[in-house]
Amino acid sequence: MKKIAVLTSGGDAPGMNACIRAVVRTGIYHGLEVYGIMYGYDGMIKGEINLMESHAVSNIVQRGGTILKSARSVDFRTKEGRQKAYEQLKKHGIEGLVAIGGDGTFTGAKVFYEEFGIPTIGCPGTIDNDIYGTDFTIGFDTAINTALEAIDKIRDTAAAHDRIFFIEVMGRDSGYIAVECGLGGGAELVMVPETQTTLNEVVQKLTSSKSKTSSVIVVAEGDEEGNAAEIMEKVKNTINDDSKDFKVTTLGHIQRGGNPTGKDRMLASRCGMAAVEGLLNGQANCMAGIIHDEVVYTSFEDCITKNKPLNRDTLKLIEILSI
């Protein structure tokens, strides 16, 4: 193997640039030519593929976002689109791929490998931390710290005005961000897609303590009861107490941006190096992750189909500490 390429796909995550840097420089260290594919699979189809020298990744380890950009590709979901992508890779002589992203990225990589046989290794780049085969995903730690900073400030104003805040964090299918933020931010309750929390439980929590005059409820955007605004309205109508002041804050895409934490930079760098060395050692159609501080290669099939459950002890801890 003499030439490889790296791309970022799906939602951006802090630390992707650190991973790109690790892929490029590890590849150069091992005598490879490393190409950067702009705009993910869409750029692969269009041939937006450029040779990357070591200096191309200077001064990016601390930057959020991705210098390779990211985009959704409708065409790559078709056989014709993937055929065009394959032809572009062969045109540049590319023999291996590193795909940085989450479930959707790995699904595309798996299908592409099965059709055209170009060895591909993924790096887990998503703030949701919901990828099976790694303890943490690139960007998760930064997203937690970004959200916690906001929650701390909201709690100040909640206490000052005796308000009840419903704070929505990202997590359409996963409650990892909500749980970590709920615990670290001292939330009275956390609502996540993985567990059923009824409106009656929320109401009981908010009315059971006479000593608490303000509360923070952290809601993952994919909770079964709805988003934070919908839940707040239902709870407000159920309690029906004009003396209680309800507010909603949706943190949104602020969680995706910002300089990656030291933990995310380290994780991204290790995964990037492991991906390149995995390709050189014959690994393919898998993700390079870190479990118990050791590099582990997990098949794309397992990454996509196997569930990564929440730690129930953490949920219990939130319940105990919020009394």
Q: Are residues 242 and 265 in the same domain?
A: no
Q: Are residues 117 and 251 in the same domain?
A: no
Two tokens, residue 142: 């930064």
Helix (H) or strand (E) holding 45: helix 40-46
What would the pLDDT profile of 50-75 be if each residue is shown by its tens digit?
999 999 999 999 999 999 999 989 99
Q: Is residue 118 part of a domain?
A: yes
User: Could you give the CA distance from residue 82 to residue 255 in angstroms, rounded to a whole number?
Assistant: 32
What would the pLDDT profile of 111-166 be if each residue is shown by its tens digit?
999 999 999 999 999 999 999 999 999 999 999 999 999 999 999 999 999 999 99
What would the pLDDT profile of 221-257 be if each residue is shown by its tens digit?
999 999 999 999 999 999 998 889 999 999 999 999 9
User: Which residues are annotated as catalytic?
Assistant: 128
Q: Is residue 28 part of a domain?
A: yes
Question: Each residue of 61-80: b (16+ CB within 10 Å) or e?
Answer: bebbbbbbbbeebeebeeee
Q: Which residues pair with 245 in a beta bridge?
A: 163
User: Could you give the CA distance from residue 81 to residue 114 in angstroms, rounded to a whole number?
Assistant: 15
CATH code, domain carrying 104: 3.40.50.450
pLDDT above 80 for 293:
yes
Distance set, CA 235 to CA 49, 178, 225, 266, 322 (Å): 52, 19, 11, 42, 19
Q: Are residues 111 and 152 in the same domain?
A: no
CATH code, domain carrying 212: 3.40.50.460
User: Could you give the CA distance from residue 206 to residue 9 in angstroms, rounded to a whole number?
Assistant: 41
Q: How many domains does the chain have?
A: 2
Task: State the residue range of the domain holding 160.
Answer: 142-256
C-beta atoms surrounding 29 within 10 Å:
12
**What pLDDT is stored for residue 282 in this prediction?**
97
The residue type at 42: D
Q: Is residue 311 part of a domain?
A: no
What would the pLDDT profile of 82-104 be if each residue is shown by its tens digit?
999 999 999 999 999 999 999 99
User: Could you give the CA distance from residue 188 to residue 140 in angstroms, rounded to a whole number?
Assistant: 22
106 with 300: CB under 8 angstroms? yes
For tokens 């390149």, what's the residue?
276
127 with 117: CB under 8 angstroms? no
Q: Are residues 296 and 238 in the same domain?
A: no
User: Could you give the CA distance from residue 277 to residue 269 in angstroms, rounded to a whole number?
Assistant: 12
pLDDT above 80 for 209:
no
Residue 267's closest CA among 127, 169, 79, 115?
A: 127
Residue 40's closest CA among 13, 8, 63?
A: 8
Q: Is residue 236 part of a domain?
A: yes
Averaged pLDDT for residues 175-203? 94
Q: Are residues 268 and 178 in the same domain?
A: no
User: Could you give the CA distance from residue 70 to residue 92 in angstroms, rounded to a whole number?
Assistant: 21
Distance set, CA 208 to CA 4, 12, 202, 216, 261 (Å): 60, 41, 10, 15, 38
The residue type at 266: M
Residue 125 DSSP one-character state: B
Tell me what percent of the residues of the chain surpass a pLDDT of 70.
100
Q: Are residues 78 and 221 in the same domain?
A: no
Q: Are residues 117 and 153 in the same domain?
A: no
Residue 112, phi-psi category: left (phi > 0), alpha (psi -120 to 50), beta (remainder): alpha
**What pLDDT is stored for residue 211 in this prediction?**
67
